[in-house]
Amino acid sequence: MWRHLLSTGALQLFVVEDRAKSLGSQLVSFGGFVFVIDDFCAEVRSTLPPYLSVELARRYSSQHWPILKRDRMARANSDGGLNVLMCFQGWAPGQFSPEQSLAVIEKHGEALHLTLRGYRIKEFLAEPIGRETSEWMFDAGARLRRDYSNYFRDKPRRKPESSQRPLLVGLTREEALAHPGANIASLFVYTPPRFHFSRSERALLQHALMGRTCEQLAISLSLSRWTVKKRWHAIYDRVADVDSDLLPPSIAYGAHACSRGAERRRRLLNYLRQHLEELRP
């Protein structure tokens, strides 16, 4: 299931790392999202038992797989919008000082927004486990959807301790517009893409954002260096047709041709970091 989710792009992951620690112990927090169909959201809000990631695993081999693959995700993102389900999140074990906890929470929130920025979201759902995680979600603007009290009343042997109690929280686009100051409400801010890059162009730009050179891009994308160069020129032409002032003009010959090309790439990548909708399916 993990291999399928990752290879199809259905699972959106983020991590927060402490780069000052030794290799292998840098992970501080993590989270994962999937985009799900409307009917599954309705089930989640009404009848499904707690521990939704387990429910997703149960349905993996059935005909009722509710997670959108890339093609359906793209259609929804171009039309009415996407339902986001945070299927897991966690924190590294250990005690943090109040100042460290504040830093971790801030970076965790930044990573969450970076992962979802640029998508047209219509509903956000999450299932925090325990008091601290639930309080963080409420403070960020999420609303309580279910406390699963009926479920645990009928199955008292399964009732966890309060520190491990799951809750269902969420927010819709309409609620976010009514309370724009909430942190999670900013997930619903959407700007349509301007350049409409092709799928192959988006793949190159996503790899370039990780700092890869043309040689590294060719290797990671299984392309020739000539094809990578040609793709860059097509990207620059597309950008120039839409926004001629965004990039410096090209110089075909002379000593400044190479440096001007690097400057064009730098400006474009800086723009894309602030406008991730250009890279979404």
| Average pLDDT of adjacent 10-residue blocks, the chain of 281 residues | 86 91 89 95 95 91 87 93 93 80 88 93 94 88 94 89 90 92 90 95 94 91 93 95 89 54 92 95 91
* Shared domain check, 147 and 8: yes
Q: What is the pLDDT at residue 257?
A: 53
Distance (Å, rounded) from C-alpha 136 to C-alpha 80? 29
Instruction: Give yes or no: residues 28 and 158 share one domain.
Output: yes
Q: How many domains does the chain have?
A: 2
Q: Is there a single domain that holds both residue 48 and residue 94?
A: yes
Q: Give residue 266's pLDDT.
A: 94
Query: Residue 259: what pLDDT?
Result: 56
At residue 252, the pLDDT reads 52
What's the confidence (pLDDT) of residue 43? 96
Q: Which amino acid makes up residue 260? A: R
Map tokens 């990752």 to a residue: 6
User: What is the per-residue pLDDT for 100?
Assistant: 86
Tell me: do 145 and 205 sit in the same domain: no
Instruction: Show which of 160, 188, 216 is a domain's final residue.
Output: 188
As given in the structure block, the two tokens for residue 46 are: 């009404």
The amino acid occupying position 99 is E
What is the CB neighbour count within 10 angstroms for residue 167?
21
CA pair distance 64, 56, nearest whole angstrom: 10
